[in-house]
Amino acid sequence: MKKIWISKFIVSLFLIVFVVTTPFSNVEAIENGEKLFLKNCSACHLDGNNIIIPEKNLAKETLQENGMDSISAISYQILNGKNGMPAFGGRLTEEEIEKIATYVLQTSWTKL
């Protein structure tokens, strides 16, 4: 009986810690992603637009239409580039790329 109580306590404690810390780390990731986006991407993608290929903007609907609706897909695009977009794999770390991808996905522009 005591082992069950201890197990439930540990699981409950883990869930509380997870729920309490997750929003803060997600907010921090988005803020860091925004800083990296502004430094590396805003020259072509200011306000979610695309000055090279306007129809490939960062609006949520456009990202979905082009299969760019996941962190992995956006990260791949940032890493390798495509069409007029240069590859950032040599300039940014994987962690920085993931932060930018998270920022783009979480804040995909709803109107341009």
Sequence-distant (≥ 6) Cβ neighbours of residue 102 within 8 angstroms: 29, 30, 33, 71
What pLDDT, on the 0 to 100 scale, is given for residue 24?
46
pLDDT tens, residue by residue, 20-53: 444 445 677 678 999 999 999 999 999 999 999 9
48 close to 59: Cβ distance less than 8 angstroms: yes
CATH architecture of the domain 30-106 equals Orthogonal Bundle (1.10)
Q: What is the mean pLDDT of residues 13-22?
A: 48
> How is the chain split among helix, strand and coil, in percent rounded to 5?
65, 5, 30
Q: Using one digit for the tens of pLDDT, what is the confidence trace for 54-110?
A: 999 999 999 999 999 999 999 999 999 998 999 999 999 999 999 999 999 999 976
pLDDT band of residue 9 (cuts 50, 70, 90) is low
Q: What's the gap between Cα 26 and its chain centre?
A: 10
